[in-house]
Amino acid sequence: MGNIILTGDRPTGKLHLGHYIGSLKNRVRMQNEGNYDEMYVMIADAQALTDNFDNPKKIQDNLHEVILDYLSVGLDPNKVTFFIQSEVDELTTLTYYYMNLVTVSRLQRNPTIKTEIVQRGFEKSVPVGFLNYPVSQAADITAFKANLIPVGNDQLPLLEQTNEVVRSFNRIYGDTLVECEAILSEKEIEQRLPGLDGSAKMSKSLGNCIYLSDTSEEVHKKVMSMYTDPDHINIEDKGKIEGNMVFTYLDAFSNDEQISKYSEFSSLDEMKNKYKSGGLGDVKIKKVLYEVLEELLTPIREKRKYYEEHMNEVNTILKEGTIKAKSRANKTLKEVKKAIGIDYFE
């Protein structure tokens, strides 16, 4: 069997550096390596509604931001099928059958869900839809028989849940669904990029992001106000690298060639050593980070501008992709119903 790649994002905001380093970069690499039969990228609007049901406008507004982000980082509509989750009803039907295979306590034990429940203030009463989103994610993945999922490491417990559904389904109803594996970025720092504020994860919902569509001025402002080492007051002071977000981001985004281009140091290690021993100011290291990020973001902004001016083209890409995805998911739904024995009129 060949490779089927699938992944997606919630349209709860524009995509940020965490998405880029944790997932988008791998998607573009895999797209260009070409070692797959089909590649799908889904805008998970229905999932986004599970914790934003009272703010549908936010989801509507960001749907277009997310597709623009995809196209601007270099995902190619000739290679990738982009689709909107809520338009593919088959996914909801699959979710309904899979819900029987998962217990409430299993969902409550999911570490990602646990953290997100606290972040969203759902401890006292969690919406059923939100608790159930890992099951709907199992439907999203299995509907396309996807086996490779390029994601950040917060998704690992969710993919495990998907595979548990697959195993239960295949055991009870016969071999039908396919297990999947996460494709993670190499370095740990890339698998879960911390927020600008130093918190565990850069996340749209936490508002601690540099967005791929931020202007140069916005990026400059955000970098200049980044958290470094609170005890590093004067340039001569010895500085800490650990927990210093500027160095954390340099670890994730820079290479030594860039360090020597934008500073007097020939490598990031050399720059770190100077900071640790004293004599290197925060403004200087922030300038290097700013330049490194600008090198990444400038071409992305340019591509975005093109698509912003060609929204008809963008809408067609989404519409055609969604039709194709729907037809693929329908095929799996038929197999699933047949396996369960509820394909009465086939």
State the residues that interact with ligand ATP by CB under 6 A.
9-10, 12, 18-19, 22-23, 151-152, 154-155, 191-193, 201-205
Nearer to ligand ATP, 13 or 239 (CB): 13
Please state the closest distance from residue 224 (CB atom) to ligand ATP, in A.
21
Nearer to ligand ATP, 50 or 263 (CB): 50
Q: Which single residue is written with the structure tokens 């540099």? A: 210
Please state the closest distance from residue 133 (CB atom) to ligand ATP, in A.
10
User: Strand pairing partners for 9?
Assistant: 43
Is the distance from CB of 142 to CB of 178 less than 8 angstroms? yes
State the DSSP H helix or E strand holding residue 150, giving kind and residue range, or none if neither.
Answer: strand 148-150
Is the distance from CB of 332 to CB of 94 less than 8 angstroms? yes
Nearer to ligand ATP, 207 or 299 (CB): 207
Q: How many CB atoms lie within 10 A of CB 75?
A: 18
Q: How many CB atoms lie within 10 A of CB 237?
A: 15
Q: Which single residue is written with the structure tokens 């729907």? A: 326
Please state the closest distance from residue 49 (CB atom) to ligand ATP, in A.
11
Nearer to ligand ATP, 101 or 193 (CB): 193
Q: Which single residue is written with the structure tokens 């995809």? A: 70
Is the distance from CB of 136 to CB of 110 less than 8 angstroms? no
Nearer to ligand ATP, 191 or 244 (CB): 191
Nearer to ligand ATP, 12 or 332 (CB): 12
Nearer to ligand ATP, 84 or 339 (CB): 84
Please state the closest distance from residue 313 (CB atom) to ligand ATP, in A.
24
Please state the closest distance from residue 187 (CB atom) to ligand ATP, in A.
11
CA–centroid distance for 129 within its chain: 20
State the DSSP H helix or E strand holding residue 338, giving kind and residue range, or none if neither.
Answer: helix 311-340
Q: Which single residue is written with the structure tokens 């999203």? A: 140
User: Residue 287, class by beta-carbon neighbours within 10 Å (0-12 exposed, 13-18 middle, 19+ buried)?
Assistant: middle
| CA-to-CA separations, 36 to 2, 6, 30, 39, 178, in angstroms, rounded | 6, 11, 8, 7, 15
Please state the closest distance from residue 47 (CB atom) to ligand ATP, in A.
8
| CA-to-CA separations, 311 to 68, 86, 204, 299, 321, in angstroms, rounded | 9, 21, 24, 19, 15
Please state the closest distance from residue 22 (CB atom) to ligand ATP, in A.
2
Please state the closest distance from residue 19 (CB atom) to ligand ATP, in A.
4
Nearer to ligand ATP, 192 or 328 (CB): 192
* Residue facing ligand ATP at closest CB distance: 22
The tokens for 208 are: 């601690």
Count of alpha carbons within 13 angstroms of residue 27, beta-carbon side: 33
